Structure formats: C-alpha cells, structure tokens
C-alpha cells in the first residue's frame, strides 16, 4: 500500500471513512475474537454491536498484565490474532511513565503509508519538494529484548531499523549508518557535518519533535569551530570512533574545503547574533519540519528565531499505539494545525470531554464526532489494544470529505494543581505564548521550559523553569537578567491563567505568587540526557510540560541562576 501513494488515495480514504472504519474493525475482530482477552467479552463473536456493548474502555494499566505476559514468553494470541513481533517503548516524557506497546508489521506498514501520504501532500504544497535533500535529525537506540527475546525499542528506532524505512532514508543528508550509530553525541556531530557539507542541497530541516532540533542548534553553537576545522582539513575529529559513522562521514566530507570552513566561521562566529542561523547556513531551506502542536508549541519562538520565521510544518499525529492522522494543510500556522484522521490505520472511537475536563461516558465513532466538541481518543489496533485510552484530548475543527479533522489540545492527565484549580497543558501553552512578547522586548527568547506545582510552601505556588537566550550578542556569555522584565513576565503569565487560578491567587489566597527560576544555558540538554539515560528515546523526546519526579527536578535545581516572583495578583 505504501508504494505509489498519491493524493487520490487520500480522497478515497476520506470519502469512505465510515465503510473503511467498519472494515477495519471487522478485520481486527475476526483476527482477535478468540484471543484470551477478547473472548472474555465476546465469546468468540466478531459482532461489532457486541464489541461496542461488552468490551470495556481501558487504560494502559488495565492491559499491561496481558502485555507483560506476552513479553515474558506466553503466546501473542492472548491479546492479538496477528503475531506480536516487537514492542514499542513510548517516550514516557509526555505521559509521565514509560510503557511498552505490542506491535507487528501492520504497525510499521501503517507508519510508512502515513509518511508516504504526507509526502504526497507536501509535494502539492511546496514547489521543488522532491528535488533537494532533507536534513532531518534522527537517532536510534540499541534494541533490548523482553524475557522471551522479542525486541523492545522506541517506535521510531524500530521504524528506522525496519526494511520499510530504507526508501525514506535516501533523500536525507545523513547516511543511514550515522543514524544507526548508538552514541547520540557522535551521531549528532556527524549529522551536522554531513548537513553542512551538503548545505546547498538542503531544502528542509527538521526533527520529529522540536526539543531535539533546539538541542541540535545548541550543540552547533558549541561545536561549530571544530566542525569548520574538520571541513577545512577534510578529516573527521579523532573522537568520532564509531567506524561506520567515521567511514560514511569521511566519504561525504571529501577534499579539504577552506571556502566552506570560512563561511561557517563567518556565520557562526562573526555575526552579532544567531538569528536566522538555519537560513544562513542552509540558504535553500523552504521550511522547518517538526511537530509544534501540543506541548511542543513552547519551542515556536526559538524555532522562529533560528529560522527567520520559515514555515513550521507539523506533518503527522502518531504514537507508539498507532498512526492517527496527517496535516493536509501543512503550511498553515502552528495555531491552526489540524490532523485529518486516516480511517484505514486503526479503529478509532471518541469519548466526549466536558468543560471540566471529565469524560461524559458517551462513546462515538470517528464519523459521528461533532464539530467544535472535545474528545478523548480511544484506539483499537491490529496488535492487541482494544478501546484503549491514548490519553490525548482533541477538538474537532472540520471535515475533509467525510473524515473529521482534529486540533491537538493536550494530554489528558497533565495538570498543575496546588489548590483546586486544574491548570492544563493548554492553559500553560497559551500563557507562554502570550508572555513571549515580554521576553522579546528585552531581546530574550525561551529555549527551554518546564514547570511544577510546589506545595511545600504555604500557600502552594507554581514554579516555572526557563532557559533563556540573548538574541543579541553582547560579547559576553553572561545573561543580563532585568528584574523588572522578568517580574513582568511572571505577571503576564498569571494574567493568562484560568479565571479559577486568578480567583485563588488573590492576596492571602490559597495560591501564592508564581515563581520564575531561570536556569543556566544547557540545563535542558542535561534534562534530556537525564531522561534518555533512563530509557527515553531521543527522537521521540518531548520536553515534559510539568515535572513531578524529584530526581528530574534536581537536574534543574542544581542549575538555577536567578529567581523572580510575580508582584501583584492578576485581575479577576
């Protein structure tokens, strides 16, 4: 199905969503009706109505015992008629803890199909899309195994290592061997080196998620002199010891190139700021390909700054459980991005979410969602998940043919709360977006953000950790922090919070003044390293919007440079 994926396929799928969803469910039930899991509810029947009536809506924790049994060596058909061949380890940074999801070839074929279709959409919207190369930063991890020897890896690692991926790799500046390098530092360095050498061919720059892209730019800031020197001499630094990395990067590096080395030194070291560094080093870049919806929107100001406001393209919405949808208007502004679900990927259901964030219990099919309503997504896939909560809240924004389009709103359970106010990811994203102007007025941009609700103080209060960067090179690496500006930042953030927050934040009320803790440059790199050392995937890494783990907070606490507090109650 992945071959010859053109836009007529999209028209066909989205015009027949109801029939295709029925067929998908039929196929899954036929394959799985006799599994130990489903037969408890269906007694071997593959009837759709019985499925709807008897099969419960579950969370990952409910199916975990079954998944663990398969991982420990019991047959796949406990949960899935289609054999389980691998486990996808979720990033665990957006949901809080890592999970392993069963998967098989259908999962990877679906991913490839989704990406191929989304490339067809890109070709329609971007002139010359197919002509140049992509400098997309991807990383893979060592694949571990379960007790019975089945592979466990982040979904992107398994996808990149699968035979399905090789066709996609050809259009990238980084040779496949470099992406496969298990040492992220060597891989990152070599990917940058290859990208710089092929700078005139690069038409798109990206990473699946923007935390990685921002960290790559930080890395470039540290290593540009060495990269330029490698290009000048035509030899790769000695610390690149991974042999296949070294071989493939040496081939691309070719002869010494003083002209390119001079150019890199001029752009990285000789200018008054790093504004537009992406477009200066890769002048033919047409857009930045990275997901900036949901929690990832916190990276928009930094990406705008580094790319001189090139379009930011969020192509797809997918997870370790399934591929969900794609953006059919890829050049739309980040705040207007919606994802059109692909009805052939899995069986999708939706539980309506009310204004308080609770679910009403009513479950509707993909084609029956209502415009404007908010829903929690449930997935039934080809590898053993049945009516499983994904944990994402989505809003219906429109329809493409008969298929709904959704805006990603937030993770369901990520909330800050120090009294009775539920502050969601979306509330925080909106507050950050509004307060950006305060930083800009002082020539600062946000390059890292997370927060936590501190209830060790009375009253409890919100703590926002921010990593900031000066947009103008003042000749010193010491950040100039203006007390008035940063206190003002706290106040604007609080003004943008929900009315309940603002009511509780009155003088002597149950919520204390919001606190801003500015951390040293590189702190969010350390936070990412902290999570990666605990098994998170680099490519799937999303800086957590809120942090509860004391160990992770310590990484930030050790690097706090200065603290500021809001100095007035926000208007009610």
- Interface residues with ligand AMP (CB under 6 A)? 90-91, 94, 291, 293-294, 314, 317-320, 390, 392, 408, 411, 540
Position of tokens 């006799």? 34
Of 277 and 394, the one with the shorter C-beta distance to ligand AMP is: 394
DSSP 485-536: HHHHHHHHHHHTS-HHHHHHTSTTSSB---EEEEE-TTHHHHHHHHHHHTT-
Of 141 and 461, the one with the shorter C-beta distance to ligand AMP is: 141
Of 294 and 570, the one with the shorter C-beta distance to ligand AMP is: 294
CB 479 within 8 A of CB 454: no
Minimum CB–partner distance for residue 122 and ligand AMP (Å): 15
Query: What is the spatial distance between Cα 478 and Cα 484, in angstroms, rounded to a whole number?
Result: 18
Of 349 and 515, the one with the shorter C-beta distance to ligand AMP is: 349
What does the angle CA 286 – CA 293 – CA 360 come to, to the nearest 5 degrees?
Answer: 155
Taking the CA atoms of the chain, what radius of gyration do you get in angstroms? Answer: 24
Of 67 and 277, the one with the shorter C-beta distance to ligand AMP is: 67
How far are the Cα atoms of 307, 321, 402, 440 from residue 209, in angstroms, in the given order? 16, 17, 29, 24
Sign of CA dihedral 135, 136, 139, 145: negative
Of 186 and 414, the one with the shorter C-beta distance to ligand AMP is: 414
Minimum CB–partner distance for residue 408 and ligand AMP (Å): 4
How many CB atoms lie under 10 A from the CB of residue 555? 20
Minimum CB–partner distance for residue 396 and ligand AMP (Å): 15
Please name which of 282, 291, 149 lies closest in space to residue 214, comparing C-alpha atoms: 291
Query: What is the spatial distance between Cα 167 and Cα 157, in angstroms, rounded to a whole number?
Result: 15
Minimum CB–partner distance for residue 414 and ligand AMP (Å): 9
Of 121 and 491, the one with the shorter C-beta distance to ligand AMP is: 121
Q: Which two tokens stand for residue 546?
A: 């809120």
Minimum CB–partner distance for residue 293 and ligand AMP (Å): 4
Minimum CB–partner distance for residue 390 and ligand AMP (Å): 5
Of 158 and 320, the one with the shorter C-beta distance to ligand AMP is: 320
How far are the Cα atoms of 216, 347, 351, 394, 537 from residue 373, in angstroms, in the given order? 38, 20, 10, 8, 33
Minimum CB–partner distance for residue 349 and ligand AMP (Å): 15
How far are the Cα atoms of 62, 110, 252, 454 from residue 319, in angstroms, in the given order? 19, 12, 33, 31
DSSP 367-408: GG--TT-EEEEEEE-TTS--SEEEEEEEEEEEEETTEEEEEE
Minimum CB–partner distance for residue 540 and ligand AMP (Å): 4
Minimum CB–partner distance for residue 203 and ligand AMP (Å): 22
Of 188 and 411, the one with the shorter C-beta distance to ligand AMP is: 411
Of 302 and 394, the one with the shorter C-beta distance to ligand AMP is: 394
| φ, ψ dihedrals at 473, nearest 5° | -75, 110
Residues β-bridged to residue 58 = 388
Minimum CB–partner distance for residue 95 and ligand AMP (Å): 7
């Amino acid at each position: 199905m992945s071959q010859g994926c053109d836009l007529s396929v999209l028209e066909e799928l989205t015009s027949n969503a109801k029939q295709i969803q029925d067929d998908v469910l039929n196929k899954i039930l036929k394959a799985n009706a006799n599994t130990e899991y489903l037969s408890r509810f269906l007694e071997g029947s593959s009837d759709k109505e019985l499925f709807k009536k008897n099969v419960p809506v579950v969370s990952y924790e409910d199916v975990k015992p079954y998944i663990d049994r398969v991982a420990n060596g019991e047959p796949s058909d406990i949960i899935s008629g289609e054999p389980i061949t691998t486990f996808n380890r979720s990033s665990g940074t957006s949901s809080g803890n890592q999970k392993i999801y069963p998967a098989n070839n259908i999962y990877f074929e679906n991913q490839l199909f989704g990406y191929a279709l989304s490339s067809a959409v890109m070709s329609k919207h971007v002139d010359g899309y197919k002509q140049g190369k992509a400098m997309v930063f991807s990383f893979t991890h060592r694949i571990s195994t379960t007790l019975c020897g089945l592979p466990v890896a982040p979904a992107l690692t398994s996808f990149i290592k699968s035979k399905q991926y090789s066709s996609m790799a050809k259009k990238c500046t980084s040779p496949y061997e470099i992406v496969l390098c298990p040492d992220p530092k060597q891989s990152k360095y070599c990917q940058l080196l290859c990208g710089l050498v092929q700078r005139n061919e690069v038409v798109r720059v990206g990473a699946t998620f923007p935390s990685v892209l921002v960290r790559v730019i930080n890395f470039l800031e540290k290593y540009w002199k060495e990269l330029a020197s490698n290009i000048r001499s035509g030899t790769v630094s000695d610390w690149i010891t991974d042999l296949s990395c070294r071989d493939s990067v040496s081939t691309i590096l070719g002869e010494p190139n003083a002209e390119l080395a001079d150019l890199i030194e001029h752009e990285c070291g000789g200018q008054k700021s790093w504004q537009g560094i992406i477009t200066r080093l890769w002048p033919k870049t047409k857009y930045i390909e990275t997901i900036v919806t949901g929690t990832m929107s916190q990276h928009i100001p930094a990406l705008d700054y580094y790319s001189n406001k090139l379009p930011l393209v969020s192509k797809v919405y997918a997870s370790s459980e399934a591929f969900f949808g794609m953006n059919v208007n890829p050049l739309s502004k980040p705040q207007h991005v919606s994802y059109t679900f692909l009805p052939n990927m899995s069986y999708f259901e939706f539980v309506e979410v009310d204004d308080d964030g609770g679910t009403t219990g009513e479950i509707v099919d993909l084609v029956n969602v209502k415009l404007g309503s908010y829903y929690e997504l449930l997935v039934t896939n080809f590898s053993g998940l049945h009516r499983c909560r994904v944990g994402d809240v989505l809003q219906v924004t429109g329809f493409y043919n008969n298929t709904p389009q959704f805006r990603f709103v937030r993770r369901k359970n990520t909330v800050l709360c120090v009294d009775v106010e539920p502050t969601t990811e979306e509330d925080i994203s909106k507050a950050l977006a509004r307060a950006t102007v305060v930083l800009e007025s002082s020539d600062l941009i946000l390059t890292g953000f997370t927060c936590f609700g501190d209830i060790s103080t009375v009253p409890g209060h919100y703590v926002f950790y921010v990593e900031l960067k000066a947009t103008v090179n003042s000749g010193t690496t010491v950040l100039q922090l203006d007390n008035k500006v940063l206190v003002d930042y706290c106040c604007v953030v609080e003004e943008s919070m929900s009315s309940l927050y603002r009511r509780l934040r009155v003088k002597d009320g149950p919520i204390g003044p919001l606190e801003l803790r500015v951390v040293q440059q590189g702190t969010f790199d350390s936070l990412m390293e902290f999570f990666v050392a605990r098994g998170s995937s680099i490519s799937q890494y999303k800086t957590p919007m809120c942090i509860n783990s004391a160990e992770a907070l310590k990484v930030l606490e050790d690097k706090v440079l200065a603290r500021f507090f809001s100095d007035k109650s926000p208007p009610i």
